[in-house]
């Protein structure tokens, strides 16, 4: 199983590098961003298992990044890093959906412990999207089935539920095959044949009665991947 990836968004270079080195030492894979714009771009891709987010950043503030992350990746764990340690900053972050916070200066031992704790309790945080109605059917992820207006029911496999749920939680955003492999199959995308993703999408389209030649539910975005419309 590949190591868990943490995105570190922190403008202070020594602190950022220290965190990256510590994460690497403890078996994580670390990506980093030095300002708000680069951090937001990396966070949008969603190719990490957790974000460490500084609040005071050049370009875009941490709380603004958190707001957007919660809109496009509602299940992605985020731990806030703040130098202030003031209650209002912590409360604002937690209200926006942060999973935890760490006040600077902090020990690496504490930081790693908090990261591991958040990942343990939310390896894939449950989403509030369990039942969605589309034009001709109801998608019921809790029951692993599709219910059509003509009374027909269609069962979904465990993998299909995971894939469809991920597309639903990120609806309106093109998701690459590599991201799907990483987040759903838990595989390192490099060198892996992505045709299995295409096969699963084709099977989902068939079950959803989505026209394979002109799909309207699960769209193919040329050069990017798939998107739930």
Pick the CATH number of 131-228 from 3.40.50.300, 2.60.40.10, 1.10.10.10, 1.10.3720.10: 1.10.10.10
| Per-residue pLDDT reduced to its tens digit, 34-59 | 999 999 999 988 778 899 999 989 99
Q: Is the distance from CB of 107 to CB of 80 less than 8 angstroms?
A: no
Non-local CB neighbours of 122 within 8 Å, separated by 6+ positions = 75, 77, 99
Give how far the C-alpha of residue 1 lies from the chain's centroid of Cα atoms, to the nearest Å.
18
Sign of CA dihedral 80, 29, 114, 97: positive
Residues in the chain: 229
Q: In the CATH hierarchy, which fold is given to the domain comprising 5-121? A: Rossmann fold (3.40.50)
Tokens of 219: 């769209």
Output the pLDDT for position 73. Answer: 79
CA gap 170, 164 in Å, rounded? 10
Domain boundaries, the chain: 5-121, 131-228
Residue 43, CA distances (Å) to 78, 119, 141 in order: 10, 17, 26
| Per-residue pLDDT reduced to its tens digit, 119-147 | 887 645 444 467 888 888 999 888 889 99
Q: 120-134, 158-172, 199-213 — which one is most confidently predicted on average?
A: 199-213
- Looking at the DSSP bridge assignments, the partners of residue 5 are 29
The continuous run of DSSP H or E covering 173 comes out as none
| Per-residue pLDDT reduced to its tens digit, 82-110 | 876 566 777 788 888 888 889 888 899 99
Output the pLDDT for position 127. Answer: 47
Give how far the C-alpha of residue 131 lies from the chain's centroid of Cα atoms, to the nearest Å.
20
> How much is the pTM?
0.57
């Amino acid at each position: 199983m590949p190591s868990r990836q943490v995105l570190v968004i922190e403008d202070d270079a020594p602190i950022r590098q220290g965190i990256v080195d510590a994460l690497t030492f403890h078996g994580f894979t670390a990506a980093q961003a030095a300002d708000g714009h680069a951090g937001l771009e990396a966070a949008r891709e969603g190719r990490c298992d957790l974000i460490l987010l500084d609040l005071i950043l050049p370009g875009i503030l941490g709380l603004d990044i958190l707001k957007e992350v919660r809109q496009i990746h509602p299940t992605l764990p985020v731990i806030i890093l703040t130098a202030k340690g003031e209650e209002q900053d912590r409360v604002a972050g937690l209200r926006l959906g942060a999973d935890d916070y760490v006040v600077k200066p902090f020990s690496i031992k504490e930081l790693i412990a908090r990261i591991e704790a958040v990942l343990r309790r939310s390896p894939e945080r449950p989403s509030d999207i369990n039942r969605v109605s589309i034009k001709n059917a109801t998608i019921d992820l809790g029951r692993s089935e599709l219910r059509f207006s003509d009374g027909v029911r269609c069962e979904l496999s465990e993998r299909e539920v995971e894939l469809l749920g991920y597309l639903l939680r990120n609806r309106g955003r093109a998701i690459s095959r590599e991201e799907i492999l990483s987040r759903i199959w838990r595989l390192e995308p490099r060198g892996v044949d992505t045709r299995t993703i295409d096969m699963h999408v084709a099977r989902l389209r068939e079950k959803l009665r989505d026209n394979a030649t002109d799909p309207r539910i699960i769209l193919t975005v040329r050069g990017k991947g798939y998107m739930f419309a």
